[in-house]
Amino acid sequence: MKSTVETLSPTRVRLAVEVPFEELQPNLDQAYRSIANQISIPGFRKGKVPPRLIDQRIGRAAVLEETLNNAIPTHYSTAVREHDVKVIGRPEVEVTELQDGEKVAFTAEVDVRPELTLPDFATLEVTVDEAEVADSDIDDQVDSLRQRFSTLKGVEREVRTGDFVQLDLHATIDGEDIEGGSAENVSYEVGSGQLLEGTDAAIEGHSAGEEVTFTTTLAGGEHAGKDADVKVMIRTVKEKELPELDDEFAQTASEFDTLEELRNDVRTRLGRVKKLEQAVAARDKTLEVLLAAVEVPMPEKVLADEIEYRKHQLSHALENAGVTLEQYLENEGQTQEEFDEQLEKDCAQAVRSQLVLDAVADTEEVGIDDGELTSEVVRRAQQSGVPPQQFADQLVQNGELPIVVADLRRGKALGLITEQAKIVDSAGNPVDLKALQAEINPPQADATASDVVPADAEPAQA
């Protein structure tokens, strides 16, 4: 086999491969065996049809097509290895010459990782917010805990925002009942927006025992986009009563004896959350600064594939939710043009990040050991609710294990950059990420009053 590589652009090459026909003999034999197992000819058992009869009945062209389908991927991979081509996309293959018994020639155009010039990471300057806990932050957390210990008391007055009501609802379109359009004794917090659009405006100002009717546009289901008349019966109206903020509340809602002890614990825990957020922000902003310092040619085919993949994922999610793209865009306040522009921007940033971090990982010779890979697979399996071995098997079967390895390398590469970059907070104080991580995750961190820290306060792993 002979092969050459031609650079078409900083992100695309064309491989030209020529294969003597004798090197295709194993693939030719395999093609005959495969076709023989698929056809039936009187006088021959399946799989035992001789090649000459296959040529006569099926045609030599079909045999050669099957041969090339098997042979080209192997010889393409060989050419990639020989020329050390850093492929990042799927090739576009064209057979340029086919001389039966003589040779086969084909070209493969494919996107490749561009050569990047990386800056000295020590010159990168990053500024993040201070990891300070304000009194208002503590007030918000304590108030959230107070809300959880509130009680509901029936009132004889008109409905107001923040009240809790029991409702009966019945929806019709043109006087006809809608399947699944009725519900009784629905508990609802007025102002939460969790029921049909227009419910809040319709019931506010009315009292228990009253019935009101309003018109709304249905957002989902088979009648999505149609106007429905909704009749609402207000059964009960209750208001929330909050406990007094005192030591008795602290004893009821936590392990602490005094409100001051509770607030001090909340301050400590919010401090850890703020520092964790600061650490994540440092990584994110370091990557932003790095990307701004590196010129990255964009592989257009890879970008197009990423855009198509994300569109497919969104379409699948919307279909499962019973929502059209038009409804989604309306809810997001975007036009189709704005959506497409933002999607391309996000995908370009994602591709650019991958290319730069891969270059860093190569330059710094970042590797992933078996322990790190196992830990990551277990973590992802837990997130997916799948047994680790089953999850690992799925990764192998789908050819996705290299993707996990690549993600791990990029994460470690970003960690190396943040260790070398100059990171300060908005007050000019240096941020030591290693010390910060040790402070965030002490060997034995207690778990007291963890319920006062919001679950969504811990950012996802970068």
Structural fold of domain 2-111: Alpha-Beta Plaits (3.30.70)
What pLDDT is stored for residue 37 in this prediction? 87
The tens digit of pLDDT for each residue in 368-398 reads 999 999 999 999 999 999 999 999 999 999 9
Give the side-chain half-sphere CA count within 13 A for 222: 5
Inform me whether the pLDDT recorded for 166 exceeds 90.
Answer: yes
Q: Residue 226: what pLDDT?
A: 87
Q: What token pair was written down for 86? A: 């850093």
Lowest mean pLDDT among 130-139, 269-278, 403-412, 453-462: 453-462
Q: Which two tokens stand for residue 35?
A: 């076709």
> pLDDT digit string (tens) for 211-254?
999 999 887 777 888 899 999 999 999 999 999 999 999 999 99
pTM of the model: 0.70
What whole-number distance in Å separates Cα of residue 38 and Cα of residue 46? Answer: 7
In CATH terms, the fold of domain 151-241 is: Chitinase A; domain 3 (3.10.50)
pLDDT for position 443: 55
Q: Tell me the per-residue pLDDT of 432-453, one tens digit each, with 9 for 90 and over.
A: 887 777 777 665 444 333 333 3
**pLDDT of amino acid 454:** 33
Residues 62-101: tens digit of each pLDDT: 999 999 999 999 999 999 999 999 999 889 999 999 999 8
pLDDT computed for residue 159 by the predictor:
95
**What is the Cα–Cα distance from 323 to 325, expressed in whole angstroms?**
7
Q: What is the mean pLDDT of residues 312-325?
A: 92
251-457 CATH fold: Trigger factor, domain 2 (1.10.3120)
What are the helix and strand counts (H, E) for the chain? 14, 11
DSSP states of 22-79 as a string? GGGHHHHHHHHHHHHTT---TTS-TT---HHHHHHHT-HHHHHHHHHHHHHHHHHHHH
Please state the separation of Cα 222 from the chain's center in Å.
Answer: 28
The whole-number pLDDT of residue 442 equals: 64
Backbone angles phi, psi at 264, to 5 degrees: -65, -40
Alpha-carbon distance of 65 to 72, in angstroms, equals 10
| Torsion, Cα of 440, 443, 448, 454 (10° steps) | 30
Residue spans per domain, the chain: 2-111, 151-241, 251-457
Cβ distance 133 to 278 under 8 Å?
no
410: alpha, beta or left? (left if phi > 0; alpha if psi -120 to 50): alpha
**Are 385 and 86 contacting, i.e. CB atoms less than 8 angstroms apart?**
no
CA nearest to 190, candidates 208, 173, 170: 208
